[in-house]
Amino acid sequence: MYNYNDLKNKVILITGAAGLLGSEFSISLLHQNAIVIGVDNNSSGLKKLKNKISKIFVKPKFYIFKCNLTKEKDTKNLIKKIVSKYKKIDVLINNAGSKSSSLKNFYEKMENYKMKTWREVMSVNLDSVFLLSQIVSKYMIKNKSGSIIQIGSIQGILGNDGRIYKGSRLFGRTISSPAVYSASKAAVIGLSQYLATYLAKYNIRVNSVSPGGVENNHNKTFIKKYSYKVPMSRMANKKEIASVILFLSSKESSYITGQNIVVDGGYSSW
Ligand SMILES: NC(=O)c1ccc[n+]([C@@H]2O[C@H](COP(=O)([O-])OP(=O)(O)OC[C@H]3O[C@@H](n4cnc5c(N)ncnc54)[C@H](O)[C@@H]3O)[C@@H](O)[C@H]2O)c1
């Protein structure tokens, strides 16, 4: 009999919990009766999510912590606090991602890209993923058990097709996908493979999940151009990414490690 019953009372830490995907991951894991720890540097976003969750569940085991994950000391203190309170971390979901403090700088053309922006994005998308994996795996090693899930992207395995961004908007703003995004996500996938082989002896699994574009207030031009590139002719729904997170969090994926699970409607398969 296959099910996700083992997620009941599992302590699952999700970074970037206040965001589009992090919120969905939190809700889907709470439906499995997991203890969900949501971490984000956006405290109003976290409170909004907590409020939403309190309307869906009776006594949800959802706990929020504000932390800027680029701050090493704060991150170490936070994990210490979480482990002393909840005794363990069974699953770590490294989901936080940054578009830097200036969207204008984040979407800048490659020729003009500022190293300051590059480093700012890398510090969240890659450095914090390593740091959290390093700190949390120490506790997982003691328990001889754990699952670490890193959120990559199809941009980490493919070149960027800049043509789809002409006339495209998200929340009314022009968008594109910069080199730092691809580089950070490719690195996350490589890091996951390294960690998977290194941590396998302690019964800790490490995988990355690489979503394609997820529906989120994009304008019609983007949806049309993007969907044309997808064999399934549409963007992903956030629930379609969350279902893979459930699987990788549970014992049902007990023999899967070192993989990059691409969830892209076939985008990368032409
Ligand atoms: N949405 C998509 O289409 C898509 C596709 C592929 C991959 N991804 C990846 O999935 C992950 C989640 O994406 P999303 O669309 O939910 O993004 P989002 O912007 O909605 O959420 C990201 C969250 O990370 C948090 N964050 C940023 N910097 C932080 C820091 N220094 N410390 C703590 N928290 C920080 C933000 O506050 C935000 O709540 C990201 O890693 C993203 O790159 C998203």
Q: Which residue type sits at 184?
A: S
User: In which residue ranges of the chain is pLDDT below 70?
Assistant: none
Please write the tens of the pLDDT for every residue from 111-149.
Answer: 999 999 999 999 999 999 999 999 999 999 999 999 999
Q: What is the tally of helices (H) and strands (E) in the chain?
A: 9, 9
- 19 CB near ligand 1 (under 6 Å): yes
User: Which pTM was predicted?
Assistant: 0.98
- 124 CB near ligand 1 (under 6 Å): yes
Per the annotation, the verdict on 255 as an active-site residue is no
**Which DSSP letter does residue 237 get?**
P
Catalytic residue among 4, 139, 181, 226: 181
Q: Give the pair of three-digit tokens for residue 33.
A: 């009766």
Q: Which residue type sits at 73?
A: K
- 22 CB near ligand 1 (under 6 Å): yes
Please write the tens of the pLDDT for every residue from 156-191.
Answer: 999 999 999 988 888 888 889 999 999 999 999 999
Separation CA 56–CA 63 (nearest Å): 15
Structure confidence at residue 206 (pLDDT) = 99
3-class SS of residue 261? strand
Structure confidence at residue 175 (pLDDT) = 87
Contact 23, 17 (CB under 8 A): yes
Class of domain 5-101+122-160+180-216+238-269: alpha beta
Q: Give the pair of three-digit tokens for residue 207.
A: 């995988």
Contact 179, 124 (CB under 8 A): no
Structure confidence at residue 169 (pLDDT) = 85
